Amino acid sequence: MTPLQAAAAIAVMAAVTFLTRVLPFLLFGRSGNPPRVVLYLGRYLPPAVIAMLIVYCFRQVNFQAAANWAPALIAGAAVAALHVWKRNHMLSIVGGTLLYMLLVQTVF
């Protein structure tokens, strides 16, 4: 990516992110009464989207060789287990990432 393309991508991300934040104020700032279906999707879509993004992160996983699945799935399970156990964001993220780095750099 050239610096110009990267700057364009960043500008687009900034604009879209701001749009998602300002939209409720533009749409419902005056009336204050969003339709119930919007509230419903606002409540139930985010967990589905996060699950979708986790699948996205694992999209390159395949079972043709151990190196193609083992580091990601082992470290992913470790993050979930650590977080259920300690509930410490930093520990779960940094610990899981270090484990993954160790696995891809030295084991597989």
Partner 1 sequence: MSRKTLTAAFPYTLPVLMGYASIGIVFGWMMAAIGYAPGWAAAMSVLIYAGSGQYLAVDLLANATPLADVVFLTLIINFRHLVYGLSMLEKFRGMGWRKLYMIFSLTDETYALLAGVQPPEGVDEKGFYFSIAVLDHLYWIGGSVVGAVAGSLITINTEGIDFAMTALFIVIAVEQWRSGRQHLPALLGSGVTLACLLWLGPDNGRFLIPALVLMVAFLLILRPSLEHREEAGEA
Catalog residues that contact partner 1 under the rule CB under 8 A: 1, 5-6, 8-14, 16-18, 20-25, 28-29, 32, 34, 37-60, 71-72, 75-76, 79-80, 83-84, 89-90, 92-94, 96-97, 100-101, 103-105
Residue 108 beta carbon to partner 1: minimum distance, rounded to whole angstroms: 10
Considering beta carbons, is residue 69 or 83 the nearer one to partner 1? 83
Q: What is the DSSP string of 18-49?
A: HHHHHHHHHHHTTT----HHHHHHHHHHHHHH
Considering beta carbons, is residue 45 or 66 the nearer one to partner 1? 45
Considering beta carbons, is residue 12 or 66 the nearer one to partner 1? 12
| Residue whose structure tokens are 């696995």 | 103
Which of 76, 82, 86 is CA-nearest to residue 53?
76
Residue 66 beta carbon to partner 1: minimum distance, rounded to whole angstroms: 15
Rounded (10°) CA dihedral 82, 97, 49, 34: 80
Residue 65 beta carbon to partner 1: minimum distance, rounded to whole angstroms: 16
Residue 64 beta carbon to partner 1: minimum distance, rounded to whole angstroms: 14
- Amino acid in position 78: A
Would you state the structure tokens that stand for residue 29, as one six-digit string?
């700032």
